[in-house]
Amino acid sequence: MATVLVVDDEPEIRASLRGILAEEGLEVLEAEDGRAALDTMRRTRPDLVIVDVWMPEMDGLEFLRALHDAGDPSPLPAVVMISGHGNIETAVRATKLGAVDFVEKPFSLEGFLSTVHRALQRQQERQTRAELAASVPASEKASSGSDFSQTFQAPRSVQRTIERSVVHTGTGLHSGMKTGLILQPLPPGAGILFSNLSAESTVPAHLDWVDSTGYATTLHRHGLTVRTVEHLLATLHAYGITNLFVKVQGEVPILDGSAAGFCRLLEQAGVVEQEGWVEDIVISAPIEVRRDAHEWIRIEPFEGFAVSYVLEYPAPVGRQVYHYLHRGPDAFRDEIAPARTFGFVRDLKQMAAMGLASGGRLDNCILIDDEKIVNTTLRFPEELARHKILDIIGDMYLLGRPIRGKITAHRTGHSENIALLREIRRRFLTQA
């Protein structure tokens, strides 16, 4: 029986949570503030602590800080923060201090229990990994490192998640709103799920839930909409992450317009292999989606995964071509991730009328007028074509499995990427 410590200054809330958790077969302890919780933890070690942010004497954030500053050598419990006045800044502070999740009040029973069970499962996995690590001789540890290049070439790929929760804040490119991102581990077979801070509903990163592809890829299910997912998904694709919980406020942050920040975030979190495999989607015959003679995208059989893109715009852009062969995370981080999103000054008025690009800034988008690039210098001679490849890699992960094939695209965007993905599913997955 797992033990949960509920820390809240309101007796009614403690009683309510105690009843809910007890019905789930959990042993429940209570404390009225952070100091009382620390005192309780000197006598017993819970598996999970559910703590309110705003409390007298010692609030939830101070409790988290004291818990991690104590220097206790034994494994710390998982901590879930709850708040009736939550926002992304509070969630970021809590996660940086070690909280594994953050839930806004009022929360639904289903969403709350999902958070609790996810935190307990993660705590059990942490303890199991720690026990296994302690039992493996040092000589074996030195020779057991993962080889991304070998696992990627297999017809099936090992499942992966991240080792610890990480956060990032920023601005939504199209909403213009301040937003944030919390990445949390998930168990094997869970897939990649997006949610908001309340975690009342989720939308899988899957083709079935693509809502729109105008200037970005948007997911929608059960009232939850998440915009501009492609750069993050491209990074997860490249790093082989198959299981992840992503909390976001409406739109994934644009960062500097590239995926380089997401690479750093995953490397900060640590990538861990899990039990089980996902079968790669093997392309055994060519498929082509064509809008006209000039705009088309094709995938054909190939041993690994590769993308070639041909971009053609009037001056000052001209023609850009880039060929990318995926050889693991390092190749993606060096060749594709730094390529930034771009837009034309002449299109800004139309995009504004559509409610888009409100978060476009001089530091997160390459802006081009009729004569030149107006706000930056290119990181690569063919940076715009590389960014189109970044978008393709992200959109191609919306079946949750790596694809073994070579993609060639000519003057296409998100709509054609998704159309090709639908054909891949119709041709190969329904037959299988």
Q: Out of 27-41, 137-151, 236-250, which region has the weakest mean confidence (pLDDT)?
A: 137-151
- State the pLDDT at residue 150: 38
pLDDT, tens only, 379-392 = 999 999 999 999 99
Please state whether the peptide bond connecting residue 314 to the residue before it is cis, i.e. omega within 30 degrees of 0: no
Which CATH code is given to the segment(s) 148-279?
Answer: 3.30.230.20
pLDDT, tens only, 177-208 = 677 888 999 999 999 999 987 667 899 999 99
Q: Is residue 85 flagged as an active site residue?
A: no
Of 168, 326, 387, 414, catalytic: 414
Does the structural domain 3-133 have CATH classification 3.40.50.2300? yes
* 414-424 and 383-395 helices, crossing angle to 10°: 40
* 216 close to 225: Cβ distance less than 8 angstroms: no
Domain boundaries, the chain: 3-133, 148-279, 281-429
**What single DSSP character describes residue 209?**
G
State the fold for domain 281-429.
Answer: lpxc deacetylase, domain 1 (3.30.1700)
pTM tops 0.75, yes or no: no
pLDDT reading at 416 higher than 70: yes
pLDDT reading at 219 higher than 70: yes
pLDDT, tens only, 25-34 = 999 999 999 9
Q: Residue 175 contacts by C-beta under 8 Å, 6 or more apart in sequence? A: 227, 250, 251, 358, 359
Scan for tokens 């999740």, then name that residue.
Answer: 101
Query: DSSP letters of 264-304?
Result: HHHHHH-EEEEEEEEE-EE--S-EEEESSSS-EEEEE--SS
* 368 close to 344: Cβ distance less than 8 angstroms: yes
* 241 close to 162: Cβ distance less than 8 angstroms: yes
